[in-house]
């Protein structure tokens, strides 16, 4: 909600009922509870976007009980701008609420020129986090992820950097993203040996992309690590956007990096059948897709993006119906298997 201070400027006062309706799930065996739906700032929060719209979305998120905000060093565009805008919003609206927020950032993809601005070296990870903290105006993040495996840097070096980052108080917990099951097991063993709290693996997961079910979820459970799922709507395919074809100016129509017309065309029959099940459940397809992921006990949270406050509210309504009958699950499985 907004209040006007003596100068007439609209300032932010969080909704006093913000924790009443949100569902929270434990993250692995840790003490951390995450909102079942978290907000990702991959798109719509860079310098090319409206910071006021981003501010409205983040305010709406917190008023809905969303405490977890997910960033990375290269989110924008341009690189770093999502963190910088987020830092401005934190300073203006959320200074009093810092201890109620669970803030994440990452490093692992291309960020700056030269040999030290990418992948998984100790040099890159520590330098990147120092830059991220400065951009956001924070002393620490709640979790810092290695964003992707580095095939050329010893895993002991990468995990050792995460361990030292935690020991230095720059992050409270360590995480990894996009690691295969074997790599995840190795990372968990190293971090356990170093006595570092490794609590989250961020992985791509949707009804149309189920690779995590092939060993990763079991590996996470065995190691007491939670999963946070990104791209739960398969870049928009699991929404009503493409049910009747590919709209002009849509992501698929532009043949964007992560979604093209061929991918949509090859999945449209599945999407239409899934939508029929969602309608019978009294949900939008997007809401059913989120609920379907949350049924997995290893999944602590589903990461959604939003271009507006209304879109975010729409996604959060997935929590109104998280139960699936055996008949529904079997019908879904026949479609997507």
Structure confidence by residue, pLDDT tens digits, 234-283: 999 999 989 987 777 777 767 766 788 888 889 999 999 999 999 999 99
Q: Are 124 and 132 in contact (CB under 8 A)?
A: no
pLDDT surpassing 60 at residue 285:
yes
For residues 259 and 212, give the distance between their C-alpha atoms in angstroms, rounded to a whole number: 20
Cα separations in angstroms, 334 against 207, 212, 296: 12, 19, 18
Residue whose pair of structure tokens reads 């300073």 in the numeric block: 91
* Greater pLDDT, 258 or 163: 163
Residues 6+ positions from 300 with CB-CB distance below 8 Å: 25, 26, 27, 28, 32, 34, 200, 226, 227, 228
For residues 277 and 285, give the distance between their C-alpha atoms in angstroms, rounded to a whole number: 8
Reading the block at residue 139, the tokens are 């002393």
CATH of the structural domain 21-242+285-322, one choice from 3.20.20.100, 1.10.260.40, 3.60.110.10, 2.40.10.340? 3.20.20.100
pLDDT given at position 259:
82
Grade residue 2 by pLDDT with cuts at 50, 70 and 90. low
What proportion of the chain, given as a percentage, has pLDDT over 70? 96
Grade residue 83 by pLDDT with cuts at 50, 70 and 90. very high
Closest CA to 206 of 243, 236, 173: 236
Closest CA to 300 of 24, 61, 63: 24
pLDDT surpassing 90 at residue 204:
yes
For residues 79 and 252, give the distance between their C-alpha atoms in angstroms, rounded to a whole number: 23
pLDDT surpassing 80 at residue 294:
yes
Domain regions of the chain by residue span: 21-242+285-322
């Amino acid at each position: 909600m907004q209040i006007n201070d003596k100068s007439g400027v609209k300032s932010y006062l969080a909704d006093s009922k913000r924790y009443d309706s949100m569902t929270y799930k434990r993250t692995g065996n840790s003490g951390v509870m995450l909102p079942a739906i978290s907000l990702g700032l991959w798109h719509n929060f860079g310098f090319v976007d409206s910071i006021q719209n981003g501010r409205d979305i983040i305010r709406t998120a917190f008023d809905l009980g969303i405490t977890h905000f997910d960033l990375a060093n290269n989110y924008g565009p341009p690189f770093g701008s999502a963190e910088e805008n987020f830092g401005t919003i934190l300073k203006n609206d959320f200074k009093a609420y810092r201890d109620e927020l669970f803030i994440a950032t990452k490093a692992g993809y291309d960020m700056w020129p030269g040999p030290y601005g990418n992948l998984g070296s100790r040099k890159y990870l520590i330098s990147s986090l120092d830059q991220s903290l400065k951009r956001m105006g924070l002393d620490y993040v709640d979790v810092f992820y290695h964003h992707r495996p580095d095939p050329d840097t010893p895993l002991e070096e990468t995990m050792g950097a995460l361990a030292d980052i935690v020991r230095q108080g720059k992050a409270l917990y360590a995480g990894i993203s996009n690691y295969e099951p074997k790599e995840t097991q190795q990372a968990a063993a190293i971090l356990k040996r170093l006595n570092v709290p490794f609590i989250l693996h961020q992985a791509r997961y949707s009804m149309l992309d189920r690779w995590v079910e092939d060993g990763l979820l079991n590996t996470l459970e065995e190691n007491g690590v939670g999963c946070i799922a990104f791209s739960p709507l398969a870049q928009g395919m699991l929404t009503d956007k493409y049910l009747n074809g590919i709209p002009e100016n849509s992501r698929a129509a532009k043949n964007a990096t992560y979604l093209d017309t061929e991918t949509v065309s090859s999945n449209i029959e599945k999407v239409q059948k899934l939508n029929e099940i969602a309608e019978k459940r009294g949900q939008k397809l997007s809401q059913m897709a989120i609920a379907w992921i949350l049924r997995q006990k290893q999944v602590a949270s589903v990461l959604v993006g939003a271009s507006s406050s209304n879109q975010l509210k729409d996604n959060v309504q997935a929590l109104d119906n998280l139960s699936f009958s055996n008949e529904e699950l079997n019908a879904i499985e026949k479609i997507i298997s």
